[in-house]
Structures are given as structure tokens and as C-alpha cells.
């Protein structure tokens, strides 16, 4: 007796028409869940380089050593490096701390040898405040003799000016670490914006420029290009601030024991023939 051959069918779900909108409670719930999922997917921001006083991104120098950006977020960084910077062998700091506002900073859990302050009884507080590495003159390699072993810097999360035209939602942020000698310039700029325009940095277009300096090799300067007055753009920037803040707060890797030994016990230099 002949048998009917079985056919393989793919089950499909009939989709409703596009004219049917979800109930408001579902829209709110899905939007909240989408925001939570987005917060989890935070990638490390690519960083600008200021090596040798040249502002560059992906090894490409920026024209005129400047760029027009929106500074979406900022963070405080304290980092104690015990090796000289070597672009071919980058080492993490021995101890570091990160904070969005600079309050109550303490060594990050990725610090190989956490430093910190002490109370009147000489007990460690586990806080950055009072740490001897933050004292002036604590860096033995400081050319002036006044440098701090722990460097206090800022991290800025920025998006390009083109984002305003191309769509802030699609913009990719990048990070700029301000050198110690230029932190005062950033602080002065933030205070100037508040005093004269009553604006936070994320609501204006900022020109960041690297200029030569006879005493400090170079400095990073900040100036206003124009305010952002489009409410849709402002809302989009405000919406992405949390994501950018998290990306610039990504910690350094934990120094390994091998790296620590390499730094603290370098191999002896080979003697020359003569």
C-alpha cells in the first residue's frame, strides 16, 4: 500500500498588522527593559592619544591639533604608575581609583598593591584621602622634585561634532585622558560655563586643542564653539550620558605578579665589550 510522504513545514507566527499598537503598559515595560539591556552592554571607549603633544585617534593626527566635540561625561582618576611609559610594553598602575564625582575615592579592586591614607592612630583607612603617594614631592623621578607619585587626572567621554548632524543616537564615543598639568584648564572651563552660560559641558560644543608649552611641553585647552539648543539633540545626549560614563569608568587591568617583578627587578644591563 502506498504511503504518503511526510512534508516538513515551518511553523510561523502570524504577525499583527502594523496599525495595531501595543498597550501603553507594554510600551513602558519594554522601553525600561531595553534601557536596562543597553546599560549592560557597555564597551570600553577607544582613547585619544596625546603622545609627544600630538592629538591623534587611531594613530591619525587631528588637523590643527584640535577637535570640536561634545563632552558627554567625565570621571576622576588617580593612578600610581611605577614604570616609565613604554608604548611597546604598556603596564597597568600599581594602584588606582576611579570616581564619577571625585568624592570618597579609594583604591580599585584591580589595584595590585592598594595604597591609602591612615588615621591618627596609624591605621590604614583604605581611602585615597591622606595617602602619602598624593603628597607633593612623593615622586622621586619628578624633574621639579615636587611631583606626586599618584597622578590626579580626568577622563572625558566625547562624541564628535558630526553627531549632531548624523544622529546622536548613532554616535560612537571615545575617551580623552587629560594630563595632570591640564586638569586645571578643564576645571576652569567647567566653572566658566556655569558662571557665564549656566550650562554643563554636555550641552555645548567644545573645542579641545593641544598647544605647546615651554615649561610643561604641551597643554590641553578648552573653549566654547556654540551651545546645543535643539531639544531633541539635548535629550539624545542626556540619554547616552550614563552609557558613556560607564565606558570611561572601565578599570585598568590588574597587574600580574610577573609584571610587578619585571618592573621592580629588571634584568641587569649587559656589559659592553669595552
Model pLDDT, residue 184:
96
Please state, in angstroms and rounded to a whole number, the distance separating the CA atoms of residues 73 and 61.
23
Most confident of 113-122, 186-195, 211-220, 257-266: 186-195
Q: Name residues whose C-beta falls within 8 Å of residue 179's C-beta, 6 or more positions apart in sequence.
A: 50, 153, 220
Model pLDDT, residue 35:
61
> Tens of pLDDT along 70-107?
999 999 999 999 988 777 788 999 999 999 999 999 99
Q: Is the pLDDT of residue 188 over 90?
A: yes
- Cα distance from N-terminal residue to C-terminal residue, the chain: 101
Model pLDDT, residue 36:
59
The three-state DSSP-derived secondary structure of the chain is: CCCCCCCCCCCCCCCCCCCCCCCHHHHHHHHHHHHHHHHHCCCCCEECECHHHCCEECCEECHHHEEEEEEEEEEEEEEECCCCCCCCCCCCCCEEEEECCCCCCCCCCCCCCCCCCECCCCCECCCCCCCHHHCCCCCCCCCCCCCCCCEEEEEEEEEECCHHHHCHHHCCCEEEEECHHHHHHHHHHHHHHHHHCCCCHHHEEEEEEEEEECCCEEEEEEEEEEECCCHHHHHHHHHHHHHHHHHHCCCCCCCCHHHHHHHHCCCCCCCCCC
Please state, in angstroms and rounded to a whole number, the distance separating the CA atoms of residues 154 and 209.
16
* Banded model confidence at residue 8, pLDDT cuts 50, 70, 90: very low
* Banded model confidence at residue 146, pLDDT cuts 50, 70, 90: confident
Model pLDDT, residue 206:
97
Average pLDDT, the chain: 85
Model pLDDT, residue 269:
65
In the structure grid, which three cell numbers stand for residue 175, read together? 575617551
In the structure grid, which three cell numbers stand for residue 111, read together? 589595584
Which is higher by pLDDT, 144 or 130?
A: 130
Q: Is the pLDDT of residue 12 over 60?
A: no
Model pLDDT, residue 151:
94
Report whether 154 contacts 178 (CB < 8 A). Answer: yes
Please state the pTM of the whole predicted model: 0.79
Q: Is the pLDDT of residue 5 over 80?
A: no
Which is higher by pLDDT, 209 or 262?
A: 209
Model pLDDT, residue 10:
40
CA distances from 2 to 6, 7, 101, 165, 241 (A): 13, 16, 79, 68, 69
Mean pLDDT of 19-26: 70
> Tens of pLDDT along 209-255?
999 988 888 999 999 999 999 999 999 999 999 999 999 999 999 99
Amino acid at each position: 500500500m502506498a504511503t504518503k510522504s511526510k512534508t516538513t513545514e515551518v511553523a510561523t507566527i502570524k504577525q499583527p498588522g502594523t496599525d495595531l499598537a501595543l498597550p501603553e503598559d507594554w510600551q513602558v515595560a519594554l522601553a525600561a527593559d531595553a534601557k536596562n539591556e543597553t546599560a549592560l552592554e557597555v564597551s570600553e571607549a577607544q582613547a585619544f592619544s596625546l603622545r609627544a603633544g600630538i592629538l591623534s585617534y587611531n594613530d591619525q593626527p587631528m588637523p590643527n591639533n584640535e577637535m570640536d566635540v561634545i563632552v558627554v561625561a567625565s570621571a576622576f582618576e588617580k593612578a600610581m604608575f611605577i614604570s616609565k611609559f613604554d608604548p611597546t610594553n604598556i603596564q597597568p598602575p600599581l594602584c588606582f581609583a576611579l570616581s564619577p564625582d571625585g568624592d570618597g575615592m579609594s583604591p580599585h579592586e584591580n589595584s595590585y598593591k592598594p595604597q591609602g591614607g591612615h588615621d591618627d592612630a596609624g591605621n590604614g583607612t583604605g581611602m585615597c584621602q591622606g595617602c602619602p603617594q598624593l603628597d607633593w614631592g612623593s615622586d622621586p623621578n619628578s624633574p621639579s622634585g615636587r611631583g606626586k607619585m599618584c597622578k590626579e587626572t580626568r577622563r572625558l567621554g566625547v562624541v564628535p561634532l558630526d553627531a549632531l548632524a548624523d544622529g546622536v543616537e548613532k554616535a560612537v564615543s571615545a575617551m580623552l585622558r587629560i594630563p595632570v598639568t591640564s586638569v586645571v584648564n578643564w576645571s576652569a572651563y567647567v566653572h566658566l560655563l556655569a558662571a557665564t552660560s549656566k550650562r554643563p559641558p554636555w550641552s555645548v560644543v567644545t573645542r579641545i586643542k593641544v598647544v605647546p608649552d615651554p615649561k610643561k611641553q604641551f597643554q590641553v585647552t578648552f573653549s566654547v564653539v556654540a551651545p546645543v539648543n535643539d531639544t531633541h539633540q539635548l535629550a539624545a545626549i542626556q540619554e547616552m550620558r550614563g552609557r558613556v560614563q560607564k565606558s570611561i569608568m572601565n578599570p585598568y587591568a590588574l597587574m600580574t605578579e610577573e609584571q610587578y617583578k619585571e618592573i621592580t627587578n629588571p634584568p641587569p644591563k649587559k656589559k659592553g665589550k669595552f
